[in-house]
């Protein structure tokens, strides 16, 4: 088995590699269907979108889904409390850090 194939990867990474391999060999996909195990992974969904694949994925009943233009804003009468020894980060920064973690092979 080639060394590259022995690397530890998440299921989503394996699935994306298979999509890429199959496309490189001429396969065409009309729609990708995946269960909530894949659907709850934002990085996986984003990667499908970046590959211009149309997809329908399951999500957990506890997962919140928002339109792109929705902004989460605290009520105006509440002050945002900073937790000692923690810096506030934007949602985008947290998601970027999570994506790096998921695709670094550390999952």
Percent of the chain residues past pLDDT 70, beyond the cut:
81
pLDDT tens digit sequence for 30-47: 899 999 999 889 899 999
pLDDT tens digit sequence for 73-95: 777 776 666 666 667 778 888 88
Q: What are phi and psi of 33, to 5 degrees?
A: -115, 135
In 3-state terms, what secondary structure has residue 57? strand
Q: Measured in whole angstroms, how far is the alpha carbon of residue 31 from the centre of its chain?
A: 18
pTM for the predicted model, two decimal places: 0.58
Q: Is the dihedral of CA 35, 63, 42, 10 positive or negative?
A: negative
Say if residue 106's pLDDT is above 60. no
Question: What integer best gives the mean pLDDT of the chain?
Answer: 83
């Amino acid at each position: 088995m080639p060394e590259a194939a022995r690397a530890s990867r998440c299921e989503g990474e394996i699935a994306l590699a298979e999509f890429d391999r199959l496309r490189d060999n001429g396969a065409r996909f009309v729609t990708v269907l995946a269960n909530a195990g894949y659907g709850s992974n934002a990085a996986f969904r984003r990667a499908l979108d970046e590959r211009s694949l149309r997809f329908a994925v399951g999500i957990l009943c506890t997962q919140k889904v928002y339109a792109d233009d929705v902004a989460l804003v605290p009520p105006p009468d509440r002050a945002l409390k900073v937790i000692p020894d923690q810096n506030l980060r934007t949602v985008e920064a947290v998601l970027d850090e999570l994506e790096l973690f998921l695709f670094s092979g550390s999952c």
